[in-house]
Structure 1
Amino acid sequence: MLLKPILLLGTLSIGALSSISSLAATQSEYIQITNNFKQNFHSQLRKSKVPGGAFVIVEGDQVLKLSTYGKRTRGGSLNVNADTVFRLASVSKTFAGTLASMLVNEKKLSWQQPIVSYLPEFTLADKQQAKDINLGHIIGQSTGLMPNSYDNLINANVDMERIINKFSELTPMCQPGVCYSYQNVAFSFIENAIEQQSGQSYEDLLQQKIFSPLNMKTASIGYDAFDQQSNRAEPHVKTKSGFRKVTVKPNYYAVAPAAGVNASITDMSKWLIANLGENPGVLSNSVIKDVTTAGVRTTKELRRRDWRTYLDNAHYGKGWRVYEFEGRPLIYHAGWVAGYVAEVSYSPELNIGMAMLLNGESRVIAKLSSNFWRDTFKRADTLTKNSH
């Protein structure tokens, strides 16, 4: 088992973090897995010609392995390092779900509250159907609306007020809470509830309740914050002739809870550790349980190319996906936005978590993560057999 040094991760420099990582690695039963993963990560990114990336693997409150690869910009001279900031895209939803759950835990919000009480201008073709959608449906991707409603308008940089008005034309495909319907625009409505109940901006509250207490020094919300980062990874899209650098698009920052967080791989190590229950003063066990309780079933996830071999079941929690990976629970979310891909996942059973951030759109990230969990769970089975 992994022994825990008395030092707190939140107060450590990168250098100290690396030394702790070495200490933890010598004590962990999964060190060979992490070594193999590092080798595989670098070779697969090189093979796929991804400009740059980073990953971290944690166990308990320790970093087992943190590694970076490539350049912040294709053809540039600056390397990706542990503090290089990437866009998290839809991994941002894990923060929104958690922040909302914190307010529910504090009795400031209720999952049963209708969204129209915070966003009265939101309506559907049938006004009563709009009133039936509550905060739990919003954050649990079970509104019943057509999947990705009005993402096309976000892509076109249409003003948010105009997009909200467009919902009056929609008829849901099912009753709220019955079917899975992934949203970005509707998911972001949680911002209105959070801001009205807290009296603070979404950005400030996220900083106050999550980023600062977890010492996530480079984490931020929004386009301006990302633009002001000197140590940031630039976005790259795949073309027939390879990866091409593009400019950062501000459009999905308009839906901050759904896709607005920026963070480094060092920040993600702290986020994972907190979600493993190792920082209960910030992220309580009741909040963790709340956001990872399975809600609607997500059958589409079971057909994912690199995951379908291993997944027995898949649901959406509250800002997190809840997978059953060959009979074992795995908490997961992925993100994609023009020029970036991100993944974060953890096993509550093994107390191990992993995150990856890339500055090039590539499917290699899904292959890497599914294979990592296959190998990690196989190692756990071996350890169990050997202990009997």
Structure 2
Amino acid sequence: MKYSTPLLYCLSAFCLLLSPVAFAKKLDTNWNDFVSKYGRYAEKMLKSKGIPGAALSIVSIQNDDYINTMGHTKARNGQKINAHTRFRLASVSKTFAGSLSAKLATDGLLRLDSPVSEYIPSFKNTVYKDNLKVFHILSHSSGLVPNAYDNLIESQMSYPDIVEKLVTVKPICEPGQCYGYQNVMFSLIDDIILKSTNKSYSQWLNEAIFTPLKMTDASLGYEAMVKNKNFALPHVRGKKRWYSAELKKNYYKVGAAAGVNASASDMVIWLKAQLGQYPDVLSLNALATQTRRYTHTKKERYRRVWKKHLNEAFYGLGWRVYNYADETLYYHSGWVQGYRSDLVVFPHLNVGFSLIVNAETGVINELTTEFINRLLEYKRGQKI
């Protein structure tokens, strides 16, 4: 259906102006210069740090997509990274779990306010029996100490055995009362979805997200990552240079929290989905549900590179929700051995940003912040 006038949808904090006609009239002729200039800046910064490889994706609903791939899959004798080279997304994987859960909830297939104990029997005779809800585990407000038993993910212990230990841990607060970032607890959404729908998290992710969005390189798990040679190997820093490392299976145990692989091409699509461009896959109701401000994360306001501009910080369902210099941002970062990733959605500016690198480098923090600041200055015509 076509509309002759712009149609404004506002659900919670999520507002989108949907009008192909309006977009055509407002084409930004300076946008390509803006993103190309930033791309050159990012490439220069990454080269100065000797980063083996990276993939940058920027989308603007009114303009052409921008992809800039840099470097190689391996520091020595690797192949050149292209738009379809797979990277580990690490904790950016949580955005997929959050979006899928919100989709299932809005479709009536999952109840976010149901007790976890209804789906996972081992929680029935614990302190979590009635008051730990599904939305608590997706918003890191279960009451557990931060990163509970993440150390066991690095061990040979199986995920079910880790969960068995997890339920014995005494919480530091009531669910919903404090923020504590989790990987093991967060990944219980896999079991919950299976119990609620009789279909696994992996099946849902492929059938409801990857396939309909045509994210042809995206996958879940170790085996899918290494199915052919077009994947970026992880790198760690030595005394003088970056060294390729073994691709470890450990964090693939917690697939919902850290198990997604994707390319720069995939990330363009994922960003567009977050901007409401695929309503048949992620409806505006689902997008609003996932970015509801469930948990206050005030410590985020003191991050070194952001503290001047970050006014409010919350966690939704697999997504961080920020007020940055009076602009709403949806954000997540990822870090697992040998990889870093950042994802930013600007819902009111209709812009999305993704940067993934195959090295454990802090320069990604500076690069993402630089893009945010440049974009706001570009849109507002003044320094922030």
TM over 0.5: yes
Which segment drifts farther, 323-332 or 167-176?
Answer: 167-176
Is residue 60 from structure 1 mapped to residue 36 from structure 2 by the alignment? no
What do the CA deviations read for 1:345-376 (whole angstroms, capped 9, x no partner)? 11111000000110011111111111111111
CA 1:28–1:118 in structure 2 vs 1: closer, same or farther (change >3 Å)?
A: farther
| Residue 226 of structure 1: how far off its partner (Å) | 0.7
Aligned to 1:96: 97
**Corresponding residue number in structure 1 for 2:74:** 73
Residue 243 of structure 1 corresponds to 242
Post-superposition offset of 1:122: 3.4
Report how many residues are paired.
359
* Shift in alpha-carbon separation, 1:63–1:222, aligned structure 2, 3 A: farther
Higher helix share: 1
Q: Are 1:122 and 2:123 matched, yes or no?
A: yes
Tell me by how many angstroms 1:31 deviates.
Answer: 2.8
Q: Which runs of 5+ in 2 are unaligned?
A: 1-23
Tell me the amino acid that sits aligned with residue 118 of structure 1.
Y
Alpha-carbon deviation of 1:280? Answer: 0.7
TM-score (norm 2): 0.90
Query: CA separation of 1:24/1:272 partners in 2, compared to 1, >3 Å: closer, same or farther?
Result: farther
Query: 1:232-311 residue pairs with structure 2 within 5 A?
Result: 232-311=231-310
The 2-side partners of 1:25 and 1:41 are apart by 27
User: What amino acid does structure 1 have at the position aligned with 2:105?
Assistant: V
Q: Which AA in structure 1 matches 2:171? A: P
Q: What do residues 297-347 of structure 1 show as CA deviations (whole Å, max 9, x unaligned)?
A: 112211222222221111101100001111110110000111011111111
Could you give the per-residue CA deviations for residues 156-204 of structure 1, whole angstroms, max 9, x where no partner exists?
A: 1311122112124311111111111100000000001111222222111
Secondary structure of 2:128's counterpart equals: helix
| 1:358 counterpart residue number | 357
Distance change in 2, residues 1:249/1:123 (3 Å): farther
More displaced 10-residue stretch of structure 1: 194-203 or 347-356: 194-203
Contact kept in structure 2, 1:144 and 1:172, CA below 8 Å: yes
Relative to structure 1, is the Cα distance of residues 202 and 63 closer, same or farther in structure 2, using a 3 angstrom cutoff? farther
Rounded to whole Å, the distance in 2 between the matches of 1:129 and 1:199 is 24
CA distances 1:214-253 after superposition (whole Å, capped 9, x unpaired): 1000100001111213210000012222211111110110
Letter in 2 for 1:104: A
Q: Is residue 158 of structure 2 the alignment partner of residue 164 of structure 1?
A: no
What CA distance in whole angstroms lies between the structure 2 residues aligned with 1:116 and 1:358? 38
SS of the counterpart of 1:121?
A: helix
Partner of 2:16: none
CA 1:309/1:157 → structure 2, altered by over 3 Å: closer, same or farther? farther
2:137 matched to which residue of 1? 138
CA distance in 2, matches of 1:380, 1:29: 11
Taking a change above 3 Å as real, the CA distance of residues 154 and 64 of structure 1, as seen in their structure-2 partners, is: same
| Residues in 1 aligned to 2:87 and 2:240: alpha-carbon distance in whole angstroms | 24
2:157 alignment partner, SS class: coil
Q: Distance between the aligned counterparts of 1:253 and 1:25, measured in 2?
A: 43
What amino acid is aligned across from residue 202 of structure 1 in structure 2? Y
Task: Give 1:188's aligned residue.
Answer: 187
Q: For residues 232 and 123 of structure 2, what CA distance do their matches in structure 1 show? A: 36
Deviates more, 1:130-139 or 1:142-151: 130-139
CA deviation after TM superposition for structure 1 residue 119, in Å: 1.2
Q: CA deviation at 1:128?
A: 3.3
The one-letter amino acid of 1:64's match is D
| Alpha-carbon distance in structure 2 between the residues aligned to 1:354 and 1:208 | 25
Query: Is the contact between residue 61 and residue 278 of structure 1 (CA under 8 Å) also seen in structure 2?
Result: no
Q: CA RMSD in A?
A: 1.9
Structure 2 counterpart of 1:196, one-letter code? K
Report deviation, 1:123: 6.4
Contact 2:219 2:262 in 1 (8 A): yes
Paired residue for 1:376? Answer: 375
Instruction: Check conservation: 1:343, 1:356, Cα contact below 8 A.
Output: yes
Q: CA deviation at 1:285?
A: 0.3
**Structure 1 residues 102-139: Cα deviation after superposition (integer angstroms, max 9, x where no partner):** 11111111111111111111368xx2334311101011
Please say if 1:110 is aligned against 2:126: no
* Partners of 1:364 and 1:114 in 2: CA distance: 40
1:94, distance to aligned residue in structure 2 (A): 0.4
Please state whether the residue corresponding to 1:165 is helix, strand or coil.
helix
Q: In structure 1, what is the Cα distance between the partners aligned to 2:63 and 2:209?
A: 19
Equivalent residue, structure 1, for 2:7: none
In 2, are the aligned partners of 1:89 and 1:258 still within 8 Å (CA)? yes
Hey, what's the Cα distance between the residues in 1 that align with 2:263 and 2:205?
A: 16
Deviation at 1:33, TM superposition (A): 2.5
Residues 26-45 of structure 1 mapped to structure 2, 5 A cutoff: 27-45=28-46
Identical counterparts, % of pairs: 37
Task: Give 1:86's aligned residue.
Answer: 87
Over 3 Å counting, the alpha-carbon distance change for 1:174 and 1:290 in structure 2 is same
Task: Give the letter for the 1:54 counterpart.
Answer: A
Match of 1:45, as an amino acid?
Answer: L
Normalised to the residue count of structure 1, the TM-score between the two structures is 0.89
Q: Which whole-Å deviations, capped at 9, do the CAs of 1:264-312 have from their partners, x for residues lacking one?
A: 0100000000100011111100000111111211122112222222211
Q: 1:381 to 1:77 in 2, by over 3 A?
A: same
Residue 224 (str. 1) matches residue 223 (str. 2): yes
Shift of the alpha carbon at 1:26? 7.6
| Secondary structure of the structure 2 residue equivalent to 1:336 | strand
Cα distance in 1 for partners of 2:327, 2:87 equals 30
Decide whether the 8 Å contact of 1:123 with 1:168 is kept in 2: no
Offset of residue 64 of structure 1: 3.4
Q: Do the aligned partners of 1:85 and 1:229 also contact (CA within 8 Å) in 2?
A: no
